[in-house]
Amino acid sequence: MSRDHSAADSAQAAAPLAQPEGAAYPRRWRALGVSQLAAFMALLDVSIVNVALPSIERGLQVTAGTAQWVVSGYALTFGLALVPAGRLGDALGRRRMFMIALSAFVVTSAITGAAPTAGLLIAARLLQGVAGGMLIPQNSGLIQDLFRGDERGRAFGIMGATVGLATATGPVAGGLILGAISGPDAWRYVFYVNVPIGLVALVLAARLVPAGVGGKIRETHLDLVGSLLLGGGVLSLLLPLVDAETSGFGKDWWLFATAVALLVAFAWWETRTVLRGRQPLLDPRLVRTPGYATGSLIGLVYFVGFTGIWLVLALYFQDGLGYSPLRSGLAVTPFALGVAASAAVAGRFVTRLGRKLTCWGLSLTAAGLITTALLLRDVVAGNGTEWVIAGPLLIGGIGAGMVTTPNITLSLQSVPVRMAGAAGGALQTAQRVGGAIGTAVLATIYYQALIGTAHDYSAAVSEALLWASGLMLLALAIAVADLLRHRPHLNPTAVRPSGTNRTATRGT
């Protein structure tokens, strides 16, 4: 009897590949839940560390610039690993790559938490970023393999909500951990917390994620040259931005020229790779796909402004106002609540409202951040600051929840199925690289303003938030231009039938 059940389970696990297009894996929603738990954990580590950076600086006695690499280094390697890992999932199988990546993330999280020096901590975070970047593409791949029709859109909406919620709730989660554990080494548990969660996810994944997905491509090209060129270009851009906190831009100006040269070489190499009939890291042909180039650019600019907000607010609350890590994390809870509320419903309206939803979200986010910046600079001075800015942060969070999920959907809806994996990985790469750059940029602006104003913390955080707001407005301008460019012309002889848009969306 047990042998028959085992055979039945094996057949059920392989069912998605053996069944016709209309059929689907019966436990697909449970498998999605497991994959999103793992994705949430990996994405949470992008922002959860921000609230712990002041503690890391004191505990390891390092400069702020060195500590920034704990955040930026993770985001950088995370982004660069996405596309190659997606290709490996295509070749080796989603479940196998998911289990390998999740196991690596658990191990590197433990190593990061135990790191005795700043150098080893940064090295461990780089490896942890690679593991996280290996994990995320398997999520989008599993959705492509396990879901059909409208359900696929709903599943991608859940994935988009996971991205926004993980980034927004990171500071709150970090503050709760540091509030529950005292001592100079309390920051280590921000990394250790991944170990039990990851082990639970491994057990659930072994039971629920089917073994038959992926693994259909026998040969795959990882484009290591493209990865090195892109990584070198972004690293050359990050180094002077991070070092500017202590030494300014004077001695590192040549790195900007190096960054430009490497990124130009990367673009040339990717075009050459396509002409040779091989798979590039970022396919230049995606630029011609309707909505994709604009969506990628909006995502890049948005994450440059969005990701670094949590770091500068954590530094302001802890170093400037003397708040505990717990209080610092709780101070940004309204933003996280706003993201949670709007992200849960935004995906339902993206088909009906399209790019308008992104425009409204970016407008609310910019308005919330501008108001927060002005209040911190001109009104707030001392205890109770978090209550004064709670309203603007809530508004900003509501707007942010309306950006990530709809933008992912709009960017990918017209991408051909044969390019879906590469397109999703490239979109995530743009977001993660933008996050790495944004963290370095906003932190540098904050520290430079702090020096220039004789340690006026309110003025420094206000300036950093205004720069972040400017990036939101730039993303808004791109979205509005896209909206106007694709606005249907009034034509009394051509009336679009009701439901056309919905049918087209289902067909993609």
Rounded distance between C-alpha atoms, residue 481 and residue 297, angstroms? 12
> Which three-class secondary structure state does DSSP give residue 40?
helix
Q: For residue 15, name the pLDDT band (cuts at 50, 70, 90).
A: very low
Least confident of 164-168, 325-329, 368-372: 164-168
Q: Which is more confident, 495 or 399?
A: 399
Contact yes or no for 449/312 (Cβ under 8 A): no
Q: For residue 192, name the pLDDT band (cuts at 50, 70, 90).
A: very high
- DSSP secondary structure, 214-244, as one string: S---S-----HHHHHHHHHHHHHHHHHHHHH
**Cα 394 to the center of its chain, rounded Å:** 20
Angle between helices 28-47 and 149-180 (to 10 degrees): 40
Of 220, 154, 222, 170, nearest to 52 (Cα)? Answer: 170
- The rounded mean pLDDT for the chain is 81
pTM of the model as a whole: 0.77
pLDDT score at 289? 79
Q: Which is more confident, 181 or 344?
A: 181
Instruction: Using CB atoms within 10 Å of the CB of residue 114, give its burial: 0 to 12 exposed, 13 to 18 middle, 19+ buried.
Output: middle
pLDDT score at 216? 59
Residue where the block lists tokens 């059929």: 23
Domain spans in the chain, listed from the N-terminal domain onward? 23-223+279-486+494-507, 224-278
- The mean pLDDT of 55-82, rounded to a whole number, is 83
Contact yes or no for 54/315 (Cβ under 8 A): yes
Q: Which is more confident, 141 or 127?
A: 127
Looking at the predicted structure, is the pLDDT value of residue 9 above 70?
Answer: no
Q: For residue 417, name the pLDDT band (cuts at 50, 70, 90).
A: low
**Cα 46 to the center of its chain, rounded Å:** 7
Percent of the chain scoring above 70 in pLDDT: 84
- The mean pLDDT of 302-325, rounded to a whole number, is 88
Rounded distance between C-alpha atoms, residue 499 and residue 506, angstroms? 11
- pLDDT digits over 234-287, tens only? 888 877 777 666 555 556 778 888 989 998 999 899 899 888 888 787 778 877
pLDDT score at 212? 67
pLDDT score at 239? 78
Rounded distance between C-alpha atoms, residue 306 and residue 472, angstroms? 8
H helices, E strands: number in the chain: 23, 0
pLDDT score at 130? 92
Q: Which fold has domain 23-223+279-486+494-507?
A: Growth Hormone; Chain: A; (1.20.1250)
Looking at the predicted structure, is the pLDDT value of residue 429 above 90?
Answer: no
